[in-house]
Every structure is written in C-alpha cells, then in structure tokens.
Amino acid sequence: MKTPTLRPRSTGPAEVGTEFVPIAEEARNEAPRAGIDPDRSLSWLRRAMPIMRAHKGIFLTSLALSFVGLILQVQIPNLLNKAIGNSLQHHTVPLSYYVWWIVGLGVASGVTGYIARLFLFETAYDIEYDLRNIIYEHLTKMSFGFYDRVQSGQLISRANSDIRSVQMYMTFAPLILVQCSLAVIAFGYMLSYSVPLAFVAMAMMPLVFWTGVRMRNSMFPVSWIIQARLADVATIVDENVNGVRVVKSFAAEQQQLRALSGAAERVQWGYIRDADLRAKFTPLVQNLPQVGLALVLVFGGYMVIHGSLQIGAIVAFNSYLLMLQAPFMMLGMLIMMGQRAAASADRIYEILDEQPTVTDAPDAADLTDCAGDVRFRHVDFAYGEDDEQLVLADFDLHVRPGQTVAIVGRTGAGKSTVARLLARFYDVRHGSVELDGHDVRDLTLASLRANVGVVLDEPFLFSVSIRDNIAYGRPSATPAEVEAAARAAGAHEFISHLSAGYDTVVGERGYTLSGGQRQRIAIARTLLVNPPVLVLDDATSAIDVQVEQTIHAGLKLLMEGRTTLIIAHRLSTISLADRVVLLDSQRVVADGTHAELLASTPLYAEVLAQAAEFEAADERVDEEASDVESDAGDGQLGALLDAVRTGGDR
C-alpha cells in the first residue's frame, strides 16, 4: 500500500455559514440529566435540586422502602408488650405466635433495607457522576484567562473531595431524616400507652434541638476553612509533581517540604478545631436521649408499682427510646455533613458561576474552505482586564493567503500574543482580528480553531502512545497518515528507534522525551490536521540545528499555499519566511524582507545579534551534552536542554 503524504494546501475563497464538520471525535458519554440552578439568590441545596429531581424515581423508591422498613421495625416493641401481657402474664395467646411475627417482621425489614440501600447508593453515584461532568464540561468552556489565575490544585480539589461532600449530603441526609421519622412513629405508640410518660420521655428533645443548632452554626466556617486548606495542599502537591525536575535541579526539596508542612499544619489546625467542636457537641446530641430513658425508668417504675401501667409497656417504652438513640446519633452526623457540604457547594459554585469571556456569539457562523487571509486592525490588548500596560497597542498586520511571515522582536514584545489572538485564545480590547475578512468573534470557536493550527513553544503531550498524541486532533487518522505527519516534522527517525515505536507510551507531559522530541511531535500533531493557517510559536527552539534543517525542508513544501506565521528567534527559522515583521513598543515598527530590514533597520540587526548569541549558546550546550546523551539517553538530556533554553515570551 502506498504511504500517503501531506500535501500543500490550495487557496480558495472562504465560505461562512455552510455546514462545518469537526474532524475530532464527538463526545459519546451520557450527558448529565440536569444542571445547577443559575439563580445565586437560592440556597446551595435548592440550586442543586434539579440534579436530585432528575433521579427522583429511584431515590423516592429508596426512601419509601426505608420508611416501610422503619414501620416494620417499630412494630416489634409493640409485639413485645403484647407478648409479655398476653403470653407471659395472662397465658391467653401462645408465645410462639409472637415469636414468629417478630421473626417475620425482622426478615421483611432486612429485605426492604437491603433494596433501599442498593437504590440509595445507585442514586449517590449517579449524582456524583452528574456533578463531576457538569464541572468538567464547564471547565472545558472556560477561557484561557481563567486558567491564568486559577491554581490547578484548587480545581482538582473541587472536582473530587468537594463533589463527594455534596453528594453524600444530598443522598444520605434525606435517608437520615426518614430514620428520624421513626421518632414520630415511636412517639405515637408511646402516647397510646401513656400520655404523661410519653412527654416525660421526650423532655430532652428541645435541648437536643438547641444543641444541634449551636453545633451547626459553629461548624460551618471551620468546614469551609478545612476544604479550602485541603485544596491548598493539593495545589502544592500538584505543582511539586509536575515541577519535580525544577525542584530537583535547584536541590529545593527541603524548601518544598517546608511549604507542604506549613500547608499541612494549617489543615491540621482546622481538623483539630473541627474535632474540638465535635467533642463538645456530639456527646450532648447523642446522650441527651438517654436521660429520657432514666426518666422513663423513674416515672414508669412508679406507675407500674401503683398499678397504672403494665410491665410490658415499660419494656416497649425502653425499646422505643433505644430506637430513638440511633436517629439522634445520626442527627449529629447530619449536622456535620451539612456544614461540610454547604462549604463544598460554595466552592463548587464559585467555579460554575464564573462564565467564560471567550464564547461563540449568538449569530456566530462556521468558517469553511478557509483561504487564510489574516488581518489585525488597530489591535489593543492586555492580558488583565484592568491592566493599563498594553501588550499590543494599535497593532496592524496583514498576511495574504499562502504567505509566510516571520514575527521577530525582543523577549516580551508580544510575538506569542499575536498567535493567541489569531486563534482567539483571548479577545482583543480594541480593534479586530480578521480571518478571510470575517472578525474572529463572528466565527464559531470550533471552526476557527480547526482552520488555525498553533504549535506552541511549550508543547504538551498526554500520557498515551506517541501515535495517539500525534492523532489527538484527528483520532480517525490511519497509521500511515500519522507516520507521514511525523516524517514531515522530522520525528519519524527517533520514534522508530523507541522500544515500541509509535505505540510507545510517553510519561506525564511527555517528560520521558527530550524537549526537541516533544516539539517535533507537537508539530506533527498540528500538521496532521492540515490547517490552512499555521502558526509556529518558536516551535523549534529546543531542536538542534541539524534536525531543524531537516524539519525546515519538509515545512517549505507544506507551507506552499498555506498561510504561515512564524514566531522566531533563530536566523535559520527566519529564513523560511517571505516577509519579516519586527515588533517593538507593542506595534509593528518594520516590515519587509530579511535583507531589506537588515539594511534599513538597526533595531532588527540588534535583535538578530541577540538571537545569534542564544543560538551559539544552544550549540555549545549541544556539543557539551553529546557525550551525556550517548550514555544517558535523549530523555534525560531533555531536562538539561529545557533548563538552558526555556524563556518566557508573551
């Protein structure tokens, strides 16, 4: 079979409004049945009610069966009362009659309890599934600005432990309340035996209620602090795992341990405070009903001695009071669960209530058959909404279809920002960014980003096979197409020498590969999608000069008929361009060919000289590391190369 090759793109008129067919896979998971109520004036529980109502069938069945089980249980003390009176005292009914009734009620109660618990846990996991998918779907819609300021550990904590707290309360709180309804039923039976003794038995209940309210008010702020500080710990752990190479390269393990220790101590303080409150209030909530048991023995015994109450009634009273202890013990747990769930829900709603700033307009149209005409018109932009210092100011640039333009400037001149605005990672403050004459804000994000391929200077790889990483934007690609993209990016040779070739699973973020290898895979990933507009954001910065020349040979062919923006530092990369644009003071200060700018613009020569110094330093690193590479392998050398070559450039 003939191996397919990546071909240059042909230019043609762009069409807007025709059907856009995405090439990536569509989601096949079951969507959540309901969402969170957006009304922020509602309580946290009422906002979550749509999710609960979506599962009301199985959940109400579970509660109904639990209630039936309680009804069956509450009959047993009444049967004991009758057994003592009719079988043991008066001998009017055989004792076996009551024994079989009690055994039957116990078995029936056990069966209904089993089914109720089964349905309850199924509901709990369904709610957790919905909540987790709601949060993740919302996170996928959030703009880049959101991730610029939010810590990943905070998001992980809210998508895991906070969801679990909310789910447990939403499902188990109603069950506990059903269990507490046992108190009402039991109290009804007590009244049927003796009204005065029933009120004596329940004399402690108002005090239990007051204690529970005090406990709830005291525990809420502590629960919120605990959840927030657990998220801080998760953030530190996440950063240390992902940045382990930086930590070790600076021998900063002890420094990070101190940071983690400080965060852990703050969590410890919250847990100790929480335990102190539990130790203070929980014994009262759980043991006050036992005071009622003592009162029943005192007053009930007096009534039995004076003949106004039967002995069986005392036994039934004691049994009902013992039944009441479990609901009141669970009542204390319910209060604690409620406070933690309220704190967790507030933290979840902080994310869900924040809306993305970059979204499809209501009348956004799909862009198809893109020709690749790119234009920036009087663009003003800053990353922060309130930042007075602009990254780009009155920025103008026109790139015609099929043209290759190199964007050059000092570090911090705004070169990478141009790429991010074209793909609409951010929206401009003033002016417009246009593709084929259409403001990118009038196009759907999916169609825009399908037509604008960006290779970032810091490539990210997933912990899957190299084949899956290259085919990430086009999962249906054949192995031959994946290989063709890898060849064009200069990655096929090193991939073929790996233990499992294209099936080799890379480590987290691709750190089992060198920086240059990661960049080549990232280039192949974008080339496979074959976008009409290609942006190379310093995409070969970690690749040695010899390999870069091979990649450039393939790119020259692929750039034919394709609009390409090259954000470059190296002279070798700039040589690929038809035009060179020099950025300084937030705008374009020179535009022409390399030779023209070199002859007419001293600043351009200065920027190139600085770039040449960095390139020479890279070559020295490559030469000094060649012996290390032969012994340690390209993957371990990548950490050294990354440390020398990495630089921030907005």
Interval 120-156: pLDDT, tens:
988 988 888 888 888 888 888 888 888 888 877 778 7
Structurally, what CATH architecture does the domain formed by 404-645 represent?
3-Layer(aba) Sandwich (3.40)
Q: What is the pTM of this model?
A: 0.70
Domain with CATH 1.20.1560.10 in the chain: 44-141+148-352
Instruction: Give the pair of three-digit tokens for residue 42.
Output: 């509602």
Residue 80, CA distances (Å) to 20, 104, 110 in order: 74, 14, 19
User: Above pLDDT 70, what percent of the chain?
Assistant: 80
Domain with CATH 3.40.50.300 in the chain: 404-645
- pLDDT given at position 626: 43
CB-side exposure of 144: number of CA atoms within 13 Å? 10
CA 543 to chain CA centroid, nearest Å: 33
pLDDT at position 249 over 70: no
Report which of 432, 428, 405 is spatially closest to residue 417, judged by C-alpha positions: 428
Residue 150, CA distances (Å) to 8, 146, 154, 263, 544 in order: 40, 6, 7, 18, 35
Contact 422, 374 (CB under 8 A): yes
pLDDT at position 286 over 80: no
Q: How many CB atoms lie within 10 A of CB 97?
A: 14
pLDDT band at 377 (very low <50, low <70, confident <90, very high): very high
Average pLDDT of span 319-348: 76
Average pLDDT of span 541-564: 68
pLDDT at position 165 over 90: no
105 or 324: which carries more pLDDT confidence? 105
- pLDDT given at position 248: 61
pLDDT band at 428 (very low <50, low <70, confident <90, very high): very high
Average pLDDT of span 451-475: 86
* Residue 339 DSSP one-character state: H
Distance CA 189, CA 316 (A): 9
pLDDT at position 615 over 70: no
Average pLDDT of span 395-403: 91
pLDDT band at 614 (very low <50, low <70, confident <90, very high): low
Instruction: Give the pair of three-digit tokens for residue 129.
Output: 């599934």
Model confidence pLDDT, tens digit, residues 630-642: 443 444 334 333 4
Distance CA 360, CA 365 (A): 9
pLDDT at position 332 over 70: no
CA 414 to chain CA centroid, nearest Å: 30
Model confidence pLDDT, tens digit, residues 499-551: 889 998 887 677 778 778 888 888 888 888 888 898 888 766 656 666 666 66
- pLDDT given at position 577: 82
DSSP for 99-141?
A: HHHHHHHHHHHHHHHHHHHHHHHHHHHHHHHHHHHHHHHHHHH
Residue 404, CA distances (Å) to 12, 35, 83, 593 in order: 17, 46, 97, 11
CB-side exposure of 186: number of CA atoms within 13 Å? 27
CB-side exposure of 159: number of CA atoms within 13 Å? 16
- pLDDT given at position 434: 93
pLDDT band at 247 (very low <50, low <70, confident <90, very high): low
pLDDT at position 621 over 70: no
- pLDDT given at position 374: 93
Return the top range by mean pLDDT from 27-31, 179-183, 418-422. 418-422
- pLDDT given at position 267: 81
Q: Which spans in 243-362 are helix H?
A: 244-249, 253-305, 311-352
- pLDDT given at position 283: 73
- pLDDT given at position 549: 66
Least confident of 208-212, 368-372, 431-435, 567-571: 208-212
pLDDT at position 555 over 80: no
Contact 357, 381 (CB under 8 A): no
591 or 83: which carries more pLDDT confidence? 591
- pLDDT given at position 431: 93
Distance CA 524, CA 547 (A): 14
Q: Which CATH superfamily is domain 44-141+148-352 in?
A: ABC transporter type 1, transmembrane domain (1.20.1560.10)
184 or 624: which carries more pLDDT confidence? 184
- pLDDT given at position 620: 55
- pLDDT given at position 642: 43
- pLDDT given at position 243: 64
Contact 443, 16 (CB under 8 A): yes
Strand-pair partners of 606: none
Report which of 415, 498, 492 is spatially closest to residue 457, judged by C-alpha positions: 415
Average pLDDT of span 304-325: 73
pLDDT at position 270 over 60: yes
pLDDT at position 17 over 50: no
Contact 82, 98 (CB under 8 A): yes
Distance CA 97, CA 92 (A): 11
Distance CA 13, CA 369 (A): 7
Average pLDDT of span 565-581: 82
481 or 255: which carries more pLDDT confidence? 481
- pLDDT given at position 458: 77
Distance CA 80, CA 288 (A): 25
Model confidence pLDDT, tens digit, residues 56-80: 899 999 999 988 888 887 788 777 7
641 or 291: which carries more pLDDT confidence? 291
Model confidence pLDDT, tens digit, residues 77-119: 777 777 777 777 777 878 888 788 888 888 888 899 889 989 9
> How much is the mean pLDDT over the chain?
78
- pLDDT given at position 115: 92
Strand-pair partners of 406: 566, 580
- pLDDT given at position 399: 92
